[in-house]
Structure 1
Amino acid sequence: METIITIVGFLGAGKTTLLKFLIDSFSKKGYDPFLVLNDYENAHMDAQQFVGQMQTNSIKALTGSCICCSGIVELRNIVNRIPKREKGITLIEANGTSDACALMEFLGVGLNDRFLPPIQISVVDVKNWQKRGDYNELEANQIQVSSLLVLTHLGNTTKSRQDTVVKEIKALNPLAQISTMEDLNILLLPELLPTAGTVQKMEHQKAHWSSCSADLPMLPHLECIHAICRTLPKNILRVKGCAQINGESAYTYFERNPDGEIHIRPFNGVPITGTKLLTIGPGSSPETLEKTIRQSLNASISEKKQKP
């Protein structure tokens, strides 16, 4: 029977990094992974980042639907249509605000009998754990129905901070295994069982956030990406996109995490939906995105004119 692993975690916790690690590790052990990606806006952009690791017919992007509720039927149908493989394993990355309790409650209902009951991994950002303000409840909810908790962002954190986070997540889910990515034994993952822990359900609508996207024009230089990320309101918790810089043939992927950190890296291939700016969180609106793009471009042009 085939194992299904869902991966949850707050925005920017490191789900994609964990996924890439798991895909590489399982492939080296002879597994044939199938990947399902869910996001509010343009999951195809995220899916393209895995093309170098997997065949495109083994990746499915699910955009716009919340897989913990409105998208659960579509997700279930996608899983049931996954081709049988000799040594298959299915990995599902939920969007960063999924109601993990609802997802695990409904996902296993109606799956083909060739699949084992789904298990869940929660990615825990040690640096920012329970520093989310109004979203602490959502972050805590995500680990309560997980069989494994993977600690990330340990860099620049003290041993005391790490011990505190481990103590708090153990209190919320005493039955889950805890590991760092470096210490993770992937061969044990198919042997995990669904958690039998106690779950404190939250109001489901707290997992539903606004999101939107806007087309990005050709950017004159890389600094425009930093300007866009800095200009967007802080209450927009997740910023990401794909841009093309003037004079460069390759595309550039960028993201701003909830803590404000900006990460930029090469994009894999050509974005099938074109260059985009995407945001998730309160205040996301096409007007805000378009205004930010204009302001950043104008500031960049003015700055360039002032330089000798």
Structure 2
Amino acid sequence: MIPLLLMAGFLGAGKTRFLTTLIPLLLERGLRVRIVLNDFENAKIDAARLGELDALVTPLNGECVCCGSLRELLDTLQAVPPDPGSVMLIEANGATETDELLGYLTTDTTLAHFTLPLQLTVIDAARWQKRWWNNGLEAAQATTATHVYLNWTDRLSADRRNAVEHSIRAVNARAEFTTPVAFAATLHHLVNAVRNVEPRETRGVAAAQRHGKGHTHPFGSMALPLPPLVARAPFLAFVQALPEAVVRAKGLVRFADQPADMFVWNRVPGRKKVQLDESSPHADAEPTALFIGVGMDLAELETRIATLHA
């Protein structure tokens, strides 16, 4: 399999700058580097800059890869041939909603030749949570990270750096703080761990989280069927009480008090209520629950869903 990395970070955080340091470190270790670079206008400019470092770069101009450019991204990834000894890096633009994108990357059955994704979030430490109405998006990009790189730390006092690290820990206690050198070593280890591993399973992740001897992948995703009808109040309570390890949860549901209608349900981080939207699904659509997270107890989720019958 090929290690898959999603690189996120708010506008101007320094993602491309990080890559210009990371790529030579990967090449020194004998790895081949593929990059999909998404930006609003200047993807080709940054792509040329990275291509000079001997990386194979595909630019995606336009909308975020979590929405408008998603199909183009998935088509690009699907076309990548099996290539042991390589890594696939996605540099998302600064407005990307990472939880949505991770949902597609972890469950799309055509991406089984990639590992479940790591996510590196690059953070401008000097401006962390000083972006007014965009603070929520910046924090959300950190919430789903497996690794965090603090950029522009030379501008900070020791107190400010400690405060930033503490604030990031408050939204994501699982992420590992890293550097380009340390992260290059992480990817090198992952390449060797999955070099001869067969394509991953994409239905559930109990088997998919392990990618070789001694290597357990942090991310997981699981789609579970819901009962045909559920009682509204217990279901909403179940979703609200999902453990912190679940960073994304959504699906389709029918309620016993309104059985003719299907709803899209969505647990949005930071909101007190579960979002419900009436849906007109395909005729064969069934009630389901999709969970994405780090270190999830899958058996516990299955057990709790089994108690939701109306």
TM-score above 0.5: yes
- 1:101 corresponding residue in structure 2: 99
1:136-195 alpha-carbon deviations (Å, 9 max, x no partner): 0010000111100111110121111011011110110001111244x6242223365227
Q: Counterpart amino acid of 1:87?
A: G
Shift of 1:119: 1.4
Residue 119 of structure 2 corresponds to which residue in structure 1?
A: 120
The answer on 1:144 being equivalent to 2:143 is yes
Cα contact 2:20–2:50 (8 A) shared by 1: yes
Give the Cα–Cα distance (whole angstroms) in 2 for the partners of residues 198 and 185 of structure 1.
24
Q: 1:100 to 1:117 in 2, by over 3 A?
A: same
Query: Is the 8 Å Cα contact of residues 64 and 95 (structure 2) preserved in structure 1?
Result: no
Please show how residues 170-185 of structure 1 align to structure 2 within 5 Å: 170-181=169-180, 184-185=182-183
Q: Which amino acid aligns with 1:168?
A: S
Does residue 83 in structure 1 map to residue 131 in structure 2?
Answer: no
Q: Does 1:193 align with 2:214?
A: no
TM-score by length of 2: 0.61
Question: Structure 1 residues 19 and 111, CA, compared in 2 at 3 Å: closer, same or farther?
Answer: farther
Unpaired runs of at least 5, structure 2:
191-214, 221-243, 248-267, 272-310
Contact 1:120 1:194 in 2 (8 A): no
Q: Displacement, 1:120?
A: 0.6
Q: Distance in 2 between matches of 1:24 and 1:193?
A: 26
**For residue 31 of structure 1, what is the aligned residue in structure 2?**
31
Match of residue 2 from structure 1: 2
In structure 2, what is the Cα distance between the partners aligned to 1:44 and 1:106? 25
Task: Look up the SS of the partner of 1:27 in the other structure.
Answer: helix
- Residues 239-264 of structure 1: CA deviation (Å, up to 9, x unaligned): xxxxxxxxxxxxxxxxxxxxxxxxxx
Instruction: Report % sequence identity.
Output: 31
> What are the equivalent positions in structure 2 for 1:40-79 lying under 5 Å apart?
40-54=40-54, 58-79=56-77
Separation in 2, partners of 1:90, 1:146 = 17
Question: Residue type matched to 2:171 in 1?
Answer: L
Distance 2:164 2:172 in 1: 12
Cα distance in 2 for residues equivalent to 1:152 and 1:198 = 27
For residues 83 and 20 of structure 1, what CA distance do their matches in structure 2 show?
24
TM-score by length of 1: 0.61
Could you tell me which runs of 5 or more consecutive residues in structure 1 were left unpaired when the two chains were aligned. Answer: 204-308
**2:2 touches 2:84 (CA, 8 Å); kept in 1?**
no
Q: Within 2, Cα distance between the matches of 1:106 and 1:93?
A: 16
